[in-house]
Structure 1
Amino acid sequence: MDCLEGMKYIDDNSIDLVITDPPFAIDFKAKKGNYHRTKSRVLEGYNEIPKESYYEFSINWMKEIYRILKESGSMYVFSGWNNLKDILNAIDDTGFVTVNHIIWKYQFGVVTTRKYVTSHYHCLYVCKNDKKRKFFPYARFGKNEKDQDNHSLHYKDKEDVWIIDREYWNGDIKTPTKLPLELVKKILQYSSERGDIVLDPFLGSGQVIIASKMMERKYIGFEIVEDYYRFCKERLESGNYRIKDKKIGDALTLFDTERN
């Protein structure tokens, strides 16, 4: 169901962490042959939001998040540059406190001839109460852990530019957009702990709740595109991280993903 309807069933101050990548406000073609994408394996149905309505769309779902998020909780919202202004205004107008503005740098963008190539994404890390929010600074690297050049590993890992490659799902069924597993797991490690409730109001392929299941978090998500919902549910129930095209071979299991 629509997250605005679904979140009405969630109690006030009950969610520990929100990670979400809302729909774009651009003329997005799900099956466009960018990034060596095989059109036949991309699921139809990407939900588009008109640009002129994007602020209203954003503030409506953020108000519900603000209600259901714990004082100790936080939210990570991903955004492209095109609708960033509306996202930032909605964050401020809803009452969230901005903790960090993270840049996710990935390995490729669409080739251009009259402007610079866009190869990054914005991530707004926000909370309700900056004094009470959870954050685990040494969840990934110890306080005194060093690399081979004697540089602090935890310091480098917590810098606000994250260089993480997009995932290639060659031969797999997929939705038009998805966050890499490494990116979601990093957020889960720093801003949640086992047993916490993680919410994604715009599930898409289900990366957030798949990662949450792997890391022993509880999870809630909403999706209005039926094919995406079924795809996400199949991944959860089968234990397969990637669903292979039947002509290609077997699926990659959650266990295999964790091991690799």
Structure 2
Amino acid sequence: MFNNIVEKINKESFYYKDNNFILLKGDSLQLLSMIQDNSINMIFADPPYFLSNDGITCSSGKMVSVNKGNWDKGKEEFINKHTFNIEWLEKCKNPLSKDGTIWISGTFHNIYSIGAALEELNYKIINNITWYKTNASPNLSCRYFTHSTETVLWAKKSKKAKHTFNYEIMKEINGGKQMRDVWQIPTTKKSEKEFGKHPTQKPIELLKRIILSSTKEGDIILDPFNGSGTTGIVAAMLNRKYIGIDLEEEFLNLTIKRYKSLEQKQLSLNI
């Protein structure tokens, strides 16, 4: 059944496949249209923020360029950003199951466009999560407040969708209290970058909370901007199935290394 979801996709786009873990190489806007309708339980997307404007930032105490890569350039004008966000969010809607949900992370550079795009496409926003980075980098210009948060929007396919929310699990994680929409989670640990770095890599802890809260074991998770593959790594950890899409071989290879390392660790635990 899992394989049937991607049966329309040409063989050249399959970069890696192992049991319940598939990586596709190509443009999400094209490949999303080939995924079986109503087949995906949850989507996590970390789309380009379009921050690569030749500015500077601080990383590990050093001044570095804000440029992430060519994929993060070229859409400085709002109308270009918004057109892009409408396009990929619309492509996500058909493969998403009728009761499925989508999570999108962003900053003020793109999240307002994404929120408006969700409304335009008749998704129903469930929550606006504020991810507070407890160890955020300082700002070097000293001309504004230090950026220490990202927004993660959680939405369902339609107003009538009966989405999954594992309330009791979230309450347990939160020490027996209802979990609120401000999450204090540090940025990505150095140990999570042992096989290489991605400029916008999300921490495992953030994806664990997202996946545990809104899916069940055996569910199918899709990430149209795979990056370093954190969504897929956590999906595999939690016995979910995964499809990741990316254009960059470098990051697909990084994902494979992380996945194979996880497999080895799981095998050693079962011996």
Q: Give the TM-score category using the shorter length.
A: 0.7 to 0.9
Say which SS state the counterpart of residue 139 (structure 1) adopts. Answer: helix
Structure 1 unaligned regions, length at least 5:
148-152, 241-252
Taking the TM superposition and a 5 Å limit, the aligned residue runs for 1:112-191 are 112-131=141-160, 132-142=162-172, 147=175, 153-155=176-178, 158-169=179-190, 172=194, 173-191=196-214
Residue 146 to residue 124, structure 1, CA distance change in 2 (3 Å):
closer
- Letter of the 1:136 counterpart: N
For these two proteins, the number of residue pairs brought into alignment is 231
| Contact kept in structure 1, 2:216 and 2:240, CA below 8 Å | yes
Q: Bigger shift: 175-184 or 229-238? A: 229-238
- CA offsets per residue over residues 48-75 of structure 1, 9 Å max, x none? 1412221111111100111111111101
- Letter of the 2:100 counterpart: G
- Letter of the 2:164 counterpart: K
- Letter of the 1:7 counterpart: L
| Contact kept in structure 1, 2:101 and 2:163, CA below 8 Å | yes
For the pair 1:61 / 2:88, whether they are aligned, the reply is yes
2:16 is aligned to none
| Contact kept in structure 2, 1:45 and 1:227, CA below 8 Å | no
Q: Bigger shift: 165-174 or 122-131? A: 165-174
Task: Give, in angstroms, the shift of residue 130 of structure 1.
Answer: 4.1
1:244 is aligned to none
Identity of aligned residues (%): 27
For the pair 1:109 / 2:133, whether they are aligned, the reply is no
Say which SS state the counterpart of residue 85 (structure 1) adopts. Answer: helix
2:14 is aligned to none
1:48 is aligned to 72
Residue 234 to residue 29, structure 1, CA distance change in 2 (3 Å):
farther
Task: Give, in angstroms, the shift of residue 216 of structure 1.
Answer: 0.5
Cα distance in structure 2, aligned partners of 1:190 and 1:98: 15
Residue 169 to residue 93, structure 1, CA distance change in 2 (3 Å):
same
Say which SS state the counterpart of residue 117 (structure 2) adopts. Answer: helix
Say which SS state the counterpart of residue 23 (structure 1) adopts. Answer: coil
For the pair 1:35 / 2:65, whether they are aligned, the reply is no
Cα distance in structure 1, aligned partners of 2:104 and 2:236: 20
Cα distance in structure 1, aligned partners of 2:117 and 2:48: 15
Q: Bigger shift: 177-186 or 48-57? A: 48-57
Cα distance in structure 1, aligned partners of 2:254 and 2:95: 27
- CA offsets per residue over residues 186-244 of structure 1, 9 Å max, x none? 1111100111000000011000011001100001110111211111122223437xxxx
Q: Bigger shift: 109-118 or 206-215? A: 109-118
- TM norm structure 1: 0.80
- Letter of the 2:154 counterpart: Y
- Letter of the 1:166 counterpart: T
Structure 2 unaligned regions, length at least 5:
1-25
Say which SS state the counterpart of residue 227 (structure 2) adopts. Answer: coil
Instruction: Choose the corresponding residue for 1:229, options 252, 260, 266.
Output: 252
Residue 11 to residue 165, structure 1, CA distance change in 2 (3 Å):
same
Residue 228 to residue 45, structure 1, CA distance change in 2 (3 Å):
farther
For the pair 1:18 / 2:47, whether they are aligned, the reply is no
Residue 136 to residue 117, structure 1, CA distance change in 2 (3 Å):
same
Instruction: Choose the corresponding residue for 1:199, options 222, 233, 254.
Output: 222
| Contact kept in structure 1, 2:201 and 2:230, CA below 8 Å | yes
Moved over 6 A (4+): none
Say which SS state the counterpart of residue 190 (structure 1) adopts. Answer: helix
1:215 is aligned to 238
| Contact kept in structure 2, 1:100 and 1:125, CA below 8 Å | yes
| Contact kept in structure 2, 1:214 and 1:254, CA below 8 Å | no
Q: Bigger shift: 204-213 or 7-16? A: 7-16
Cα distance in structure 1, aligned partners of 2:204 and 2:153: 18
Cα distance in structure 2, aligned partners of 1:146 and 1:236: 28
Task: Give, in angstroms, the shift of residue 6 of structure 1.
Answer: 1.2
- Letter of the 2:47 counterpart: P
